[in-house]
Amino acid sequence: LSGEKTLKVLMKYGLRFGEMSCFHRYNEDGTKLLFSVLQITDTGMDGFDLENLSTDPIKGLAFFLALPHRDVQNAFDTMDSISRLIAREIDGTVYDQNNQEFTPQLREHWRHLAIDYRAGQAIDA
């Protein structure tokens, strides 16, 4: 995947370059962080070098959501939707952290884990 295409597709879906050299997606009014994206390299995940991004090849994209999150359901659903839209546009596939294809069943499993994490945090508070 070319860095130029990566930049275009991330911006097309409302992600903005920011802290930690990540691309971030915010809610509609731009006040709350929903999720972030790093690039996948030979050594793991890394931030983006914006100055060289247009010429660098990109091996993959890592979408992540920091928990706890006040609006976890919306954040997860938005991240899931955008990751699938981007994958379709670049002729890619969405995988989990274990390189398992992100099937509808796996998607629901992770969605419930994220929601349950938020519920557990509320109980512990």
How far apart (Å, rounded) are the C-alpha atoms in residues 118 and 56? 37
Q: What per-residue confidence (pLDDT) applies to 3?
A: 93
Q: What per-residue confidence (pLDDT) applies to 119?
A: 62
pTM tops 0.75, yes or no: yes
The residue ranges of the chain whose pLDDT is under 50 are 123-125
Q: Where are the beta strands (DSSP E) in 1-125?
A: 15-17, 23-26, 33-41, 44-46, 60-64
User: What CATH superfamily classification does 3-124 receive?
Assistant: ZipA, C-terminal FtsZ-binding domain (3.30.1400.10)
Q: What per-residue confidence (pLDDT) applies to 118?
A: 60
Q: What per-residue confidence (pLDDT) applies to 125?
A: 44
Convert the pLDDT of each residue in 47-60 to its tens digit.
999 999 989 899 99
Domain assignments of the chain as residue spans, ordered by start:
3-124
Q: What per-residue confidence (pLDDT) applies to 122?
A: 54
